[in-house]
Amino acid sequence: MTDRPYTDGDLRAEAARQHKNATEDPEFSGIGEQMEGHKIPSRGDFQWDQLGDHDFDTAMRAIDDLLSDAADVSEWAINLGADQLEPHAHALDLGDRRVRVHFAFAPDMSDDDRNDLISQFAAFMTYGLT
């Protein structure tokens, strides 16, 4: 029993609430400011602020829409960090994008083991869904 007047669950819940608040409703001008000096991933060294005014504004509005529509995964993010897990870039779509499975692993798990587990899970789910 701990002497604290709160639980680890209470800490995680408050952190998730604050994480969500930090990501909600960003200022539109702040989106553009954060884009400045950053590369467009598909364009090599070309940066967002090198776009013409119209294209930059269009991109800012699209990013604002994506941020507004983003799922609240604050609780998951806090729990992954608290459990010292790292999100993996690979995700599986099942049932024509009706289900998406994301993976997180312990930092000491090898890339081969991660990929093997994902492959086994995908095979199991494919077999189970047919």
Checking if the pLDDT of 129 tops 60, the result is no
Q: What is the pLDDT of residue 20?
A: 86
Structural Rg of the chain based on CA atoms: 20
Q: Confirm whether 2 is domain-assigned.
A: no
Q: Confirm whether 3 is domain-assigned.
A: no
Give 79-83 contacts, CB < 8 A, sequence gap 24+: 79/12, 79/16, 80/104, 82/8, 82/12, 82/15
SS3 110: coil
Clarify whether residues 62 and 111 are in a common domain.
no
Clarify whether residues 54 and 92 are in a common domain.
no
pLDDT in tens, 8-67: 888 888 988 888 887 777 777 789 999 999 999 999 999 999 999 999 999 999 998 888
Give the range of the structural domain holding residue 106, as residue numbers without chain letter. 84-129
Q: Which amino acid is located at 74 in the chain?
A: S
Separation CA 120–CA 99 (nearest Å) = 17
Q: What is the pLDDT of residue 15?
A: 87
| Between 98 and 52, the higher pLDDT residue | 52
